[in-house]
Amino acid sequence: MIFVVFLLGLMFGSFANVLIYRLPNNISPVFPRSFCPNCRQPIKWFDNIPVLSFLLLKGKCRRCGALISIRYPLVELAVAIGFSAIFYFYGVSEKFLTISILFFYAVAISGIDIEYRIIPDELNITLFIFGVFLPKSFQNGYLRGVFLSAGAGLAAGAVLFLLAVFFSKIFRQEAMGMGDVKLITALASFTGFSSIFWLIFLSSVFGSIVGIAVKLIKRQKGFTQIAFGPYLCLAAIFYEIFSNKLPHLFS
């Protein structure tokens, strides 16, 4: 069964690559069919098999010979390995579904945010819809759970928006983009009201660690702007896995 999950992860990883390339360039993720970014020619199905085609083609386009970014097989493998690991620990369960969705979006959002410093609304909106309407083990009814999920997301977005305004005034430059505010809205719709503090706190810790490391490596001074989306996603996955071991502040 885990082999099936691995193959499923490869396919979702391939789709994550489509989102990473197409959404920032305002290209539909559905049409046209897969094509080479260099020669713009359609890619045959047998040249579009996750990881395997990259190896057989030696990382080059069959038509024009242009190099294919190593990002493509790495993203495919990352999602496949991630899905397999989640399945190993949780099996066929609600937890597996929830964390797998968060992980897939984390990969796609991170790939875009790191390179382009944006988080497309298409990803934030669909993630929010999943978080609100995905069937969950609501003890007091599905409809009540829908409102609680939506409320948690909106509350988290409001808190982060106020913090963004506050720190922007302190640093006299934009401290955080609205894409991050929308993202935490979507993430908190999965993780609930009790996660709001932890999403902000953990993402700040993760981001600070990386930011300090970047400053030391590059010997930069002053304020270092980083893509915050990946750390919000990481915080949500961390919370979803370890929430039972964290104090439920504000719950």
Encoding tokens for residue 230? 């990946």
**What domain range is 210 assigned to?**
135-246
- What would the two tokens of residue 59 be? 């990382």
- Tell me the per-residue pLDDT of 190-245, one tens digit each, with 9 for 90 and over: 999 999 999 999 999 999 898 888 777 776 665 566 789 999 999 999 999 998 77
In a domain, 187, yes or no: yes
- 184 assigned to some structural domain: yes
Query: What DSSP designation does 38 have?
Result: T
Report, in this order, helix, strand and coil percent for the chain, each rounded to 5.
Answer: 70, 0, 30
pLDDT at 52 over 70: yes
Nearest to 110 by CA among 243, 231, 214: 231
In 3D space, the residue among 210, 182, 180, 184 whose CA is nearest the CA of residue 197 turns out to be 184
Domain-located, residue 14:
no
Length of the chain: 251
Taking the C-alpha atoms of residue 46 and residue 103, their distance in angstroms, rounded to an integer, is: 27
Question: For residues 153, 90, 138 and 185, what is the CA-based torsion angle, rounded to 10 degrees?
Answer: 0
Q: One-letter amino acid identity for 2?
A: I
Give the pair of three-digit tokens for residue 147: 């409102």
Q: What is the pTM of this model?
A: 0.91
Q: Which long-range contacts (CB under 8 A, 24 or more apart) does 130-133 make?
A: 130/101, 130/190, 131/186, 131/187, 131/188, 131/189, 131/190, 132/189
CA distance 15 to 17: 5
Convert the pLDDT of each residue in 93-147 to its tens digit: 989 999 999 999 999 999 999 999 999 999 999 999 999 988 665 556 788 889 9
Q: Count of domains in the chain?
A: 1
Question: For 250, left (φ over 0), alpha (ψ -120 to 50), or beta?
Answer: left
Q: 134 by DSSP, 3-state: which?
A: coil
Residue 214 lies in a domain: yes
Say if 32 falls within a structural domain.
Answer: no
Residue 221 lies in a domain: yes
Q: Is residue 197 part of a domain?
A: yes
The pLDDT of residue 250: 43
- Residue for token pair 């999965």: 190
Q: Is residue 115 part of a domain?
A: no
